[in-house]
Amino acid sequence: MNVLKFGGTSVGSIENIKKVIEILDNYSKKEPVICVVSAVGGITDKLLRAGEFAQQKNENYLPLFEEIKTIHLSILEGLIPDQNEAAKTYLENKLSSLKSLLDGIHLINELSPKTSDKLVSYGELLSSFIVAETMKSQNLDAVRKNTQDLIVTNNNFTKAEVNYPTSNTNISEYFKNAAQKITILPGFIARSTTGETTTLGRGGSDFTAALVAAALRVNRLEIWTDVSGMYTANPKIVKQAYPIEKLSYREAMELSHFGAKVLYPPSVQPVLSLNIPIHIKNTSDPEAYGTRITNDNSNGFLKAAKAISNISNIALLTLQGTGMIGIPGFSKRLFETLAQEKINVIFITQASSEHSICFGIDEKDAELAASNINITFENEISLKKIDPIIVEKDLSIIALVGDNMKNHQGISGKMFSTLGQNNINIRAIAQGASEKNISAVIAEKDVKKALNAIHERFFEDQTKQLNVFITGVGNVGEKLVEQIHQQKKYLKEQLKINMRIVGLSNSRTMVFNETGLSSKSWKDDLNSGEKASINGFFERVKTLNLRNSIFVDVTANEDVSKIYANYLKESIAVVACNKIACSSTYSNYSQLKNLSIKYNAPFLFETNVGAGLPVIDTLNHLINSGDRITSIQAVLSGSLNFVFNKFDATTKFHDIVKQAQKEGYTEPDPRIDLSGVDVARKILILARESGVEMNLEDIENTSFLTENNHKSSSVDDFYETLITDEAHFQKLYESAKNNNCQLKYVAEFDGKTAKVGLKEIPPQHPFYNLEGKDNIVMFYTQRYREQPLIIKGAGAGAEVTASGLFADIIRIGN
Ligand code: ADP
Ligand code: ASP
Ligand code: MG
């Protein structure tokens, strides 16, 4: 004899019921089978909602009833297209008695738990009828038996307690004489000793199946559902979750108790003592192995933590006060009060000082619990020995489960540090002495992030998900998007980094996709996106609340740079190509650095100096390893280098600058480059990163531009003045040539002060042969005393700048 239970989705459509019948048919060829069915998916909820509407005198119960009716009739019609008259009539009669019940509730304006059970019992009664009739119409040897004749309970409506001896006898007596190969039983419903319809609690069909399996002492119980077993986390919330092949009863119970809805928690109890294995299988994929639950936890040593689960809608209640210390009986009175009101306590922690007890319950019970507790402790509260109970809502419990966690060290540390790194506040913690379960209470809004982050840390082969948000999709930004898409596969395979671009924005529009924007259509998607705003972008990144989020600023916009602090405070990493933040006031720069440390959110800006060249990274390595910078000499402007390399007696200064701008080597406003401001910002950043407190005004800047150039009111006007003052630039060139030198715009830092300016460089100097748009940086340090550490290469251009940003993003991944 086999017992198979099929859930709501499995009997939720014509197609799925056909699969169920095929499975049952195959099984029944070997030995008789018992099939427990749930209501058609979603029907129990609909029945309850219709009941509530009716009770509130809201006519909306009528269309809802029609919907319930249509669903059942059309499934029947689809399964038994011909000669279904008798079945159809039976179903219609049942539905009309359901309608009368709803009308009655509407009329008397009342829905008691007893009536509610009667109401929802229609779900399983109808589904089991349809499945049985379909099988009979296919000449299968099937019968339906009403479980209410077998399972006897008390009158605790909506979650009745089973009378095991009577129910066991009824079940074994009935099946001793059952002749049919296939018996269909409605799950979830039962009957009280006084003959009333009762139910076993939401999700209770699993329990029905377990009761039958235990009463008949079958070899195994199969729970057929819409997923391939019990997963490492709820697959609807954690995409990377995967089925666990083996679990112990204890682990399965912990997981289901803490929200893994795939198995109704009480279902384990009846089969546990008889050692009947539970096998969870997928109706849509019968070949998949699924999960086998037994009392064997021998493979637990390999994997200490088995899965993570969560329960939403939790309220945390705290009873505290000095009057509790050392006085026995407080907890007893507290929990007795809750028990009297039948309030289930999911989670308890008590501080060792005994000064407070904190416990978690279902949010819907919070008011009832609070008012009763305040009455119980009325006296102590009035004497100010304890405070009135504190209630916090919108919380969720997450629980990491595994029988053998106790044999491994550092698991809770790993769990809590993962939460901390993702800026998830932990409200309370509970870890049983058995260490089979470590649970934490967190805000509901953080659940998805928490589950994904913990899952990644414990259950994914070190693969790290990076969620990238890019603002500024011009030349460089576009290249960055392309590079990320191009490298995706490599990153995943070689570096175990799963990178996806979740948000993109330019100055006009922005677009988001939590599963990653398409590598093919991102441009169109961005163009047809919503209206862009700097704050709006931040709010979206924050609300999406994804783990390992990285904000990338590829603009040159001051307003964008002003919002970095907001990102860092949410533990969102910032990667900036934009130099404004790091070259703004020292206090702002150091505040961002401090926020980065405080919130554990990297703040990287390698591309601020030398585009893709590893200048800042090298500098950081030197400092971190204990070296000290004594001086820096550098050519840091790719654009100025380009200009002075091309400029000679045969060219015009104006034309060369125009060309540099056209080829993308200058800032949108070339004055920022030519005035030396851009170079000053760069050497300022290097000085600051060397550990010196400095501001832009402290940098000596000897300009090679004319007064006319400086006074220009616009970019166009500036170009005009370049033409007028051509002679001045020719003179600069002449002088250098006569001295056998090259003109280079040089930045210098001597360990304390910094300066920038145009210099004539003699042939033996390393800067002399610097070509094209190249940059060069020479670090003189305590270790590199005579011969400097030199970094040289292309210091401008979209491709290399994008790759510098990319390198920063990967640094975060590592
Ligand atoms: P049925 O109607 O078949 O009884 P349920 O909806 O009660 O199915 O349970 C199956 C659902 O449980 C899955 O679709 C999934 O969303 C949810 N679930 C939650 N946690 C887990 C988990 N750890 N493993 C598998 N499923 C889970
Ligand atoms: N139909 C019931 C419910 O939705 C029981 C079950 O599906 O297990 O709760
Ligand atoms: Mg279920």
pLDDT digits (tens, 9 = 90+) for 179-219: 899 999 999 999 999 999 999 999 999 999 999 999 999 99
Q: Write the pLDDT tens digit of every residue in 709-727.
A: 999 999 999 999 999 999 9
The verdict on the CB of residue 266 being under 6 Å from ligand 2 is: no
Confidence of residue 325 (pLDDT cuts 50, 70, 90): confident
**pLDDT tens track for 139-182:** 999 999 999 999 999 999 999 999 999 999 999 999 999 889 99
Which residue's C-alpha comes closest to atom 6 of ligand 2? 203
For the chain, report the end-to-end CA distance as a whole number of angstroms.
54
Give the pLDDT confidence score for residue 433 in this predicted structure: 61
Mean pLDDT for 108-135 is: 97
Average pLDDT, the chain: 94
Answer for the pair 796, 638: CB distance below 8 angstroms, yes or no.
yes
Ligand 1 touching residue 16 (CB < 6 A): no
Tell me the per-residue pLDDT of 376-403, one tens digit each, with 9 for 90 and over.
999 999 999 999 999 999 999 999 999 8
Q: Whose CA is nearest to atom 16 of ligand 1?
A: 236
Q: Ligand 2 centroid vs 127 CA: distance in angstroms?
A: 11
Assigned token pair, 492: 């995943």
Distance of CA 483 to the CA centre of its chain: 25
Mean pLDDT of 214-226: 97
Q: What local confidence, expressed as pLDDT, does residue 38 receive? A: 98
Q: Is 459 in the pocket of ligand 1 (CB under 6 A)?
A: no
Which residue type does 707 have? E
Q: Give the number of the atom of ligand 1 that is nearest the alpha carbon of residue 41.
A: 2
Give the closest ligand to the alpha carbon of residue 228: 1
pLDDT at 523 over 70: yes
How far is residue 220's CA from residue 214's CA, in Å, rounded to a whole number?
A: 9
C-beta separation of 665 from 646 below 8 A = no
Q: Which of 263-277, 415-429, 572-586 has the least mean pLDDT?
A: 415-429
Catalytic residues: 682
Which tokens hold the place of 747?
Answer: 């930045």
Instruction: Report whether residue 39 contacts ligand 2, using a CB cutoff of 6 Å.
Output: yes
* Alpha helices for 345-474 (secondary structure H): 366-376, 378-382, 411-421, 447-459
Ion ligand 3 neighbours, Cβ < 5 Å: 7, 203
How far apart, in whole angstroms, are the C-alpha atoms of residue 352 and residue 720? 78
Q: Whose CA is nearest to atom 8 of ligand 2?
A: 203
> In which band, very low, low, confident or very high, does the pLDDT at 664 lie, cut at 50, 70 and 90?
confident
pLDDT band at 410 (very low <50, low <70, confident <90, very high): confident
Q: Is 205 in the pocket of ligand 2 (CB under 6 A)?
A: yes
pLDDT-derived band at 409, boundaries 50, 70, 90: confident
Q: How many Å lie between the centroid of ligand 3 and the Cα of residue 410?
A: 34
User: Mean pLDDT across the stretch 686-692?
Assistant: 97
Q: Is 7 in the pocket of ligand 1 (CB under 6 A)?
A: yes
* Choice from 10, 222, 262 to test ligand 1 binding pocket (greatest atom count within 8 A of CB): 262
Secondary structure of residue 283 in the 3-state scheme:
coil
Ligand 2 close to Cβ of residue 188 (< 6 A): yes
Q: Is the pLDDT of residue 300 over 60?
A: no
Distance 384 CA to ligand 1 centre (A): 47
Tell me which of 127, 206, 225 to substitute to probe ligand 1's pocket, judged by most ligand atoms within 8 Å of the beta carbon: 225
Does the pLDDT value for residue 302 go beyond 70?
A: no
Residue 72 Cα to ligand 3 middle (Å):
20
Task: Output 66 or 404, whichever has higher pLDDT.
Answer: 66
Residue 17 banded pLDDT, cuts 50, 70, 90? very high
Q: What pLDDT is stored for residue 464 in this prediction?
A: 86
pLDDT of residue 404: 84
262 lines ligand 1 (CB under 6 A): yes
Cβ–Cβ contacts within 10 Å for residue 107, how many?
10
Kind of pairing between the strands at 754-761 and 700-702:
parallel
- Whether the CB of 508 sits within 6 Å of ligand 1: no
Q: How far is the CA of 60 from the centre of ligand 1 (A)?
A: 30
Average pLDDT estimate for 785-791: 94
38 CA: nearest ligand 2 atom:
7
Confidence of residue 667 (pLDDT cuts 50, 70, 90): confident
**What is the model's pLDDT at position 713?**
94
Q: How many CB atoms lie within 10 A of CB 313?
A: 15
What pLDDT, on the 0 to 100 scale, is given for residue 487? 94
Ligand nearest to the CA of 224: 1
Q: Could you tell me the pLDDT band of residue 347, with boundaries at 50, 70 and 90?
A: confident
1-15 residue pLDDT tens: 899 999 999 999 999
362 CA distance to ligand 3 middle (Å): 19
Q: Percentage of the chain surpassing pLDDT 70?
A: 98
Ligand 1 centroid from CA 531, angstroms: 38
Cβ-based neighbour number of residue 239 at 10 Å: 12
CA distance 497 to 489: 9
Determine which residue's CA is closest to atom 9 belonging to ligand 1: 262
| Residue from 128, 202, 280, 283 whose mutation best tests the ligand 2 pocket (most atoms within 8 A of CB) | 202
**Is residue 285 very low, low, confident or very high in pLDDT (cuts 50, 70, 90)?**
very high
Percent of the chain with pLDDT over 90: 86
Using an 8 Å Cβ cutoff, are 262 and 291 in contact? no
Query: How much is the pLDDT for 477?
Result: 96
Which of 4, 38, 48, 117, when mutated, tests ligand 2's pocket best, judged by the most ligand atoms within 8 Å of its CB?
38
485 SS3 class: helix
Instruction: Assess whether pLDDT exceeds 60 at residue 698.
Output: yes
Query: What is the sign of the dihedral through the CA atoms of 522, 528, 529 and 531?
Result: positive
* Nearest-angstrom CA–CA distance, 361 and 410: 28
* Cβ-proximal residues to 427 (8 Å cutoff; 6+ apart), any chain: 316, 392, 395, 440, 441, 442, 443
Residue 602 confidence (pLDDT) above 70: yes
Closest CA to 680 of 619, 747, 613: 747
Per-residue pLDDT for 807 more than 70? yes
**Helices and strands (H and E) in the chain: how many:** 29, 30
Residue to mutate (ligand 1; options 227, 256, 452; most atoms within 8 A of CB):
227
Instruction: Name residue 357's amino acid.
Output: I
Distance from residue 341's CA to the centre of ligand 3 (Å): 26
* Whether residue 451 has its Cβ less than 6 Å from ligand 1: no
Atom of ligand 2 nearest to the CA of 207: 8
Alpha-carbon Rg for the chain, nearest whole angstrom, is: 36
Query: What residue owns the CA closest to ligand 1's atom 12?
Result: 262
- The length of the chain in residues reads 814
- Cα 226 to middle of ligand 3, angstroms: 10
Give the atom of ligand 1 at the shortest distance from the alpha carbon of 6.
Answer: 3
The DSSP bridge pattern shows strands 142-144 and 182-186 to be parallel
**Residue 731: CB within 6 Å of ligand 1?**
no
- Measuring from atom 21 of ligand 1, which residue has the nearest CA? 234
Residue 136: partners with Cβ closer than 8 Å, 6 or more residues away:
142
What is the atom index within ligand 1 of the atom nearest the CA of 205?
Answer: 4
Q: 265 CB under 6 A from ligand 1?
A: no
pLDDT (0 to 100) of residue 558: 95
| Ligand 1 centroid distance, CA of 204 (Å) | 13
Hey, which residues does 510 pair with through a beta bridge? 505, 530
261 lines ligand 2 (CB under 6 A): no
CA of 398 relative to ligand 3 center, distance in Å: 20
Q: Which ligand is nearest to the CA of 205?
A: 2
- The DSSP code sequence of 739-783 is TT-EEEEEEEE-SS-EEEEEEEE-TTSTTTT--TTEEEEEEEESS
State the sign of the Cα–Cα–Cα–Cα dihedral 160, 163, 166, 171: positive
Has residue 327 got a pLDDT over 80?
no
